[in-house]
Structure 1
Amino acid sequence: MLHKITALTLQKKNRQRINVFLDGEFAFGLDRLVAGWLHTGQEISDERIAELKTADASEVAFQRALHLLKFRPRTESEIRLRLLKKSISPDDVEEVIERLKRNQMLDDRRFTIEWIENRSALKPRSRRALEFELRQHGVDQEIIQDSLAEVEDEQLAYQAAVRQVRKYQDFEWSEFRIKLARYLNQRGFQYDTIRDVTNRIWNEIHETESTPQT
């Protein structure tokens, strides 16, 4: 059955959507990109209407994903979960994810590398803590392991200690050791790493090659 488009109007609350009127009555709304080829007086079939609605659902899902990516990079898992929570069909969700990947807007490996680099520069923490954080974002374990392959805990701990040590540099050795060790422990570092870095930092501050006996 054919229907005649009698009007196309912008929606008042969302200027990115078009109201489609068929045979003198409101029929449905479409994203502007989907409605781009329609014009008043055009006749469309029920099959074409179904295709337009399918394309619209896909475009709505894609725009939701773009909105999420405006705030920060996301992983495939994060995009998938957020879209499914919006009652978007699994098929549309997977189509959106593939479209984002084709356009290089979604890349778990790049996300992981950037996460590690940012953490190392701003808030250094242990490999174990980084791995936990990345798993929380839904990154595949193989990608995590590959990305952390050349990351050394001692260097991460040293970076973390350097950022904090000015608060402790006037302390006596026993208090210095306790304070810095606690700080590094809270960031997931192991005892041996904490001991070595604490000794190294103390020696650098006091320009000595040995730490006091405890």
Structure 2
Amino acid sequence: MKKITKIEYQKKNKDRFNIYLDDSYAFAVDMNVMIKYSLAKNMELDDDFISEILTAEEEMNAYNYAVNLLSRAPKSEKELKMKMQDKGYDVIFIENVIKKLREQRYIDDERYSEMFISSKINTSKDGRRKIKEALYNKGINKEIIDEKLSSVSEEEEIERAFLLAKKKLASMKEEDTRKKTLKLSNYLINKGFEYSTVKKVVSSLLKGDFDEFDQCY
């Protein structure tokens, strides 16, 4: 058995404590770990109990790392897992932390998807196809993606594509209608709009047909 002979605040982090066993520094713990195990001066610890405390400290470290990442920017569950894996945390710790964060609503793929869609529509002006691909790559469930994107109507999609295309057209120097059609259409497709939307918008702006463009796609 070893006895806790001293507990002190860390100078640079008041939420962490240095633990001394038998007058020698042994380890540091987060405040939550210290409270959980009721660590106090003169408390005696056996090796198994010390091992349990250190395991809890490792998991708390993983939790704090995840919370810090989320405080900087929202992340999907998959993104957070990958960040933690890259940091080298044990798989069991990662799963426990993800479960806890899910219960606390710190991570929520449905809410994340709503925020992501809103941002891409209002800031990047991306089309539904590009947004859908991005969410899929972030590990969002297909059912969630389809449900959240269903709130974006075809009319809204066409209007957004029209405004982008109109602005792009004003900056184009080409005189040839065919070149304008191809360039404008490729621009909208790269922004993530469906072909049917692109065809309607470009035809409306250029008053032309899509025969030549159709042959390219």
What's 1:32 paired with?
A: 31
If the length of structure 1 is used for normalisation, what is the TM-score?
A: 0.82
Contact kept? 1:4, 1:41, Cα under 8 Å: yes
* Distance in 2, Cα, partners of 1:82 & 1:166: 38
What's 1:22 paired with?
A: 21
Q: How many residues align?
A: 205
Q: Work out whether 1:42 is the aligned partner of 2:46.
A: no
Percent identity between the two aligned chains: 29
Give the Å deviation of 1:212. 5.4
Q: How does 1:4-83 map to 2 (within 5 A)?
A: 4-12=3-11, 14-36=13-35, 37-83=38-84
* Distance in 2, Cα, partners of 1:184 & 1:5: 67
One-letter identity of the residue aligned with 2:193: F
Q: Can you list the C-alpha shifts for 1:100-135, whole angstroms capped at 9, x where unaligned?
A: 111111111111122112111112223221121012
Q: Which ranges in structure 1 are unaligned for 5 or more consecutive residues? A: 204-210
Q: How does 1:126-205 map to 2 (within 5 A)?
A: 126-152=127-153, 155-163=156-164, 165-169=166-170, 174=177, 177-200=181-204, 202=205
One-letter identity of the residue aligned with 1:41: N
**More displaced, 137-146 or 97-106?**
137-146
One-letter identity of the residue aligned with 1:155: E
One-letter identity of the residue aligned with 2:99: E
Q: Which ranges in structure 2 are unaligned for 5 or more consecutive residues? A: 211-217
If the length of structure 2 is used for normalisation, what is the TM-score?
A: 0.81
Q: Work out whether 1:3 is the aligned partner of 2:2.
A: yes
RMSD of Structure 2 on Structure 1 (CA): 2.6
What's 2:213 paired with?
A: none
